[in-house]
Amino acid sequence: MYDIAIIGGGPAGLTAAIYAGRSKRKTILFTGSNIGGQISLTFQVENYPGFPESITGPDLVEKMTAQAKKFGAEIDERTVTGVDLSSHPYRLMIGEEVIVAKSVIIATGSNNRLLGLESEERFMGRGVFVCATCDAVIYEDLKVVAVGGGDSAVQEALDITKYAREVEIVHRGKEFTASNYLKKEALKNERIKIRFNAVVEEILGEDYVSGVRIRDTLTGEETVIETDGVLIAIGWTPNSELFKGQLELMDNGGIVADDVRTSKQGVFVAGDINDDKYRQLVTACGSGCRAAIEVDRFLARG
Amino acid sequence: MPGPIDIQSSEWMELVESEERPVMVEYWHHKCVACKQMKPIYEAQPELFGNEIKFTRMNLLESKENRKFAIRGGVRSTPTFILYCQGRPVGQIIGSRRPDDFTDEIRALVDNAENCLMATPLEEE
């Protein structure tokens, strides 16, 4: 039996594993296939204290993993397929195998929210993309429609203009929710066009994306915009599927909790799964640390 | 066995199309995290396949010509690995893979490319 089972191998889970391992608690962390989580998709991490020369996301994950292992945490790359939190000790299912633990830290993070269109799924990787850092270069001299109006949509639209000849931002609201600085940058960029009060109804094309059909939410009028790429940047969905029926969930899919403490004794939550406000590397690490300290107190009480 | 050869789109005729063996081209760039994850895995392949396949890679951030070439060739995500026979694409692998899966998929692409190898003019007897 483990003292602590951590689900999720991003910065929150890894920080919790470092603390738990260092407290000599028998610890296992399941990364699943998405090793390192969202930070693995960041090329240069420039705002993590202690790395003035910047560090790549994957390198940082590698170092955190090594640090967790050094303190004795087991890192398992398999995916947790089910949990049973109805009785203590808690049980985690990995396919056929069952792991038993006295406490659980949920650090499963969040994924890009998608529009939920059938055409979006069909064209994923064929013109539809969610990672501008990865795929912007593919749109040299082409046109991209960026869907969304928050910080990440506007920042990524600006990044794409380094390559694309035009980026048209389609946003359902009547103004951006992005920060003032980004708003101004977008408004003065000649390569950016903006369409407010518009929603994407369908992504069009044969083998690759060739356009999007949008609807004006005020007039109901539909228009087709020709485009080579569609960036989806409409926010995040907490990865809480595994805990449906086991823990109380919020409307946005996050887990009901008082900071890192869920409603179940010995079950804690950390990182972006419950953060729609800050979503920083350092805040994820911070909550991973708090969860590990709470776990330690829980285990000490016996 | 040397690692993958770095190529430019301008060298396509010389280094890919006129090659008798199947040629693998990785379309990548140095800010792409998945490409970085795949780098050691891709670099290990020439050792495994010997002379059967020629392994190359094209950095899309090196020139606009490289980017436009990749786009015309249907690349919409990095890394994309496309196997060519005399310049004709015969299959592709998009995104990152675990080492063994990657090698297996390349093996499947080469096996698929057998008919393309048959089309290579045989030496006259």
Domain B5-118: give its CATH code: 3.40.30.10
- Measured between beta carbons, which residues in chain A are less than 8 angstroms from residue B94? 125
Facing B34 at nearest CB: one of A134, A137, A142: A134
Query: In the prediction, which pLDDT does A163 show?
Result: 94
| Domain identity same for A256 and A219 | no
| A135 flagged as catalytic | yes
Query: In the prediction, which pLDDT does B121 show?
Result: 53
Instruction: Yes or no: say if B103 and B46 are a contact pair by the CB < 8 Å rule.
Output: no
Average pLDDT, chain A: 94
Work out the average pLDDT over B99-119: 83
**Boundary residue ending a domain (A211, A232, A253):** A232
> In Å, how far is B33's CA from the nearest CA of chain A?
6
Cβ distance of A138 and B36 shorter than 8 Å: no
The residue ranges of every structural domain in chain B are 5-118
For residue A9, the one-letter residue type is G
> In Å, how far is A13's CA from the nearest CA of chain B?
21
For residue A24, the one-letter residue type is K
**Boundary residue ending a domain (A210, A232, A254):** A232
Has the ipTM of the complex gone over 0.85? no
| Domain identity same for A227 and A125 | yes
> Beta strands A97-106 and A267-269: pairing type?
parallel
Q: Is B125 exposed, middle or buried (0-12, 13-18, 19+ CB in 10 A)?
A: exposed
Nearest one of B9, B16, B27 to B65, comparing CA atoms: B9
Instruction: Yes or no: say if B3 and B43 are a contact pair by the CB < 8 Å rule.
Output: yes
| Domain identity same for A245 and A212 | no
Over 70: is that where the pLDDT of A77 sits?
yes
Q: Tokens representing B84?
A: 């060519």
* Domain interval for residue A196: 114-232
| Domain identity same for A130 and A187 | yes
| Domain identity same for A120 and A167 | yes
Q: Tokens representing A166?
A: 């035009």
| Domain identity same for A12 and A79 | yes
Reported confidence tier of residue B56, pLDDT bands at 50, 70, 90: very high
pLDDT top residue among A280 and A100: A100
| B58 part of contact set with chain A, CB < 8 Å | no
Half-sphere exposure of A181 (CA within 13 A, CB side): 3
Cβ distance of A208 and B74 shorter than 8 Å: yes
Cβ distance of A125 and B95 shorter than 8 Å: yes
> In Å, how far is A137's CA from the nearest CA of chain B?
7
Given the residues A3, A59, A76, A135, the one annotated as active site: A135
Alpha helix segments (H runs only) across chain A: 11-22, 57-70, 118-122, 132-135, 151-160, 180-188, 281-301
The Cα-based distances of A257 to A47, A80, A281 in angstroms read 28, 21, 20
| Domain identity same for A73 and A206 | no
Q: Tokens representing B8?
A: 């430019």
Q: Which tens digit of pLDDT belongs to each residue from A6-21?
A: 999 999 999 999 999 9
Over 50: is that where the pLDDT of B125 sits?
no
Over 90: is that where the pLDDT of A228 sits?
yes
| Domain identity same for A223 and A266 | no
Q: Which tens digit of pLDDT belongs to each residue from A40-63?
A: 877 778 889 999 998 988 899 999
DSSP letter at A39? G
| Domain identity same for A35 and A181 | no
CA-based radius of gyration for chain B: 14
Domain with residue A136: its CATH number is: 3.50.50.60
Cβ distance of B36 and A142 shorter than 8 Å: no
The Cα-based distances of A34 to A31, A108, B54, B97 in angstroms read 7, 10, 31, 11
CB-based contacts of B103-110 (< 8 A; 24+ apart in sequence): B103/B45, B103/B48, B106/B24, B106/B45, B106/B49, B106/B53, B106/B81, B109/B22, B109/B83, B110/B22, B110/B49, B110/B52, B110/B53, B110/B83
- Measured between beta carbons, which residues in chain A are less than 8 angstroms from residue B60? 137-138
Helix (H, G, I), strand (E, B) or coil at A255: strand
Using CA coordinates, name the residue in chain B closest to A207. Answer: B74
Give me the torsion for CA of A28, A33, A39, A41, rounded to 10°: 160
Query: In the prediction, which pLDDT does B124 show?
Result: 47
Helix (H, G, I), strand (E, B) or coil at A8: coil
How many residues are present in chain B?
125
- Measured between beta carbons, which residues in chain A are less than 8 angstroms from residue B32? 43, 133-134
- Measured between beta carbons, which residues in chain B are less than 8 angstroms from residue A125? 76-77, 94-95
**Boundary residue ending a domain (A232, A258, A276):** A232
| A131 flagged as catalytic | yes
| Domain identity same for A143 and A223 | yes
Over 60: is that where the pLDDT of A215 sits?
yes
Count up the domains in chain A and report the number. 2
> In Å, how far is B72's CA from the nearest CA of chain A?
10
| Domain identity same for A245 and A228 | no
Question: Is the four-CA dihedral A192, A197, A199, A205 of positive or negative sign?
Answer: negative
| B116 part of contact set with chain A, CB < 8 Å | no
| Domain identity same for A156 and A228 | yes
pTM of the model: 0.77
| B75 part of contact set with chain A, CB < 8 Å | yes
Q: Is B63 exposed, middle or buried (0-12, 13-18, 19+ CB in 10 A)?
A: middle
CA-based radius of gyration for chain A: 21
